[in-house]
Amino acid sequence: MSVDADHSNEHNAVQGELLEAGNTDDGTPDGGAPQGFLEIVYGVLFEPVQTMQNAAKNPPLASAFVIVTVLSLLGTIIGLLALARFLSQGLDSGGILPATRSLVPVGAAIGLVFSYVKWFGYSAILHLVADLLGGRGDARGVFAVTGLAGLPHILLIPFQFLGYRYGLESLAASVLLLLAGLAIWIWSSIILVVGLRETHRLSTGRSVLVFIIPYLTLILLLILSLIALVFTISVFPLNTNIPGYF
């Protein structure tokens, strides 16, 4: 009886050690402790696979919220600067630019609200599509990785300022801004695909499908809308022969 008890205790101890080792080797530092904001920023840019694995297990919603907020504010500032430059060049700035400056807080607030709505809506669509394709993740993880995946766009800000400085009339600045935007969009898209793969435990191919299906659906809706518009315009003149029609 004593030998059996000792053997059982030894077996339980081994199981406990294996379980502890498994818990500490879960892709997150210190056995699942959340990463700091700067660690997440560095990881998203330079170690996206490991960072997205960590995000899938412990979604850093606060860090994603900060990233979305900062990107929204910077984008709003660039947009308002471009608007102010356009108004100063094309119109009398005596009374228009002061009014434009007074609308900066309103514009920032509207930009933030729009960014949050877009973030939530896009994350919900991706989660739904991933679930339909057999994913097994949760909405919090998709919400987090979608916000984190936008981080590379912060590197586009210097190019946007360059475009603002020289204007769209500068071919070199316009081409550089276009190429930088395309490269950063591809970079961000790859990070998002990796995040979807890790969060929903899908294959890379299915994760790519999750990413492109919303775009394909939007394109299809636009095509159908154009077809409906052309059909309406082609039929509408037939009604002009109705008596009493003006």
In this prediction, residue 91 carries a pLDDT of 53
Task: Find the mean pLDDT for residues 93-112.
Answer: 66
Q: How far apart are alpha carbons 165 and 85 in whole angstroms? A: 10
- Please state the domain extents for the chain: 34-235
In this prediction, residue 78 carries a pLDDT of 82
Q: How far apart are alpha carbons 228 and 233 in whole angstroms? A: 9
Task: Find the mean pLDDT for residues 81-93.
Answer: 62
In this prediction, residue 219 carries a pLDDT of 96
The angle formed by the CA atoms of residues 105, 185 and 200, to the nearest 5 degrees, is: 100
Q: How far apart are alpha carbons 128 and 124 in whole angstroms? A: 6
**Structure confidence by residue, pLDDT tens digits, 187-213:** 999 999 999 999 999 999 999 999 999
Q: Give the residue among 57, 60, 56 at the shortest CA–CA distance from 68.
A: 60
In this prediction, residue 28 carries a pLDDT of 44
Task: Find the mean pLDDT for residues 129-157.
Answer: 94
pLDDT confidence of 25, banded at 50, 70, 90? Answer: very low
Q: Is the pLDDT of residue 216 over 70?
A: yes
Spatial CB neighbours of 122, under 8 Å, sequence gap ≥ 6: 146, 214
**What's the mean pLDDT when you consider all of the chain?**
80
Task: Find the mean pLDDT for residues 114-120.
Answer: 94
What is the pTM assigned to this prediction?
0.76
Q: Give the residue among 125, 121, 129, 120 at the shortest CA–CA distance from 202.
A: 129
Task: Find the mean pLDDT for residues 159-166.
Answer: 79
For residues 179 and 102, the model is more confident at 179
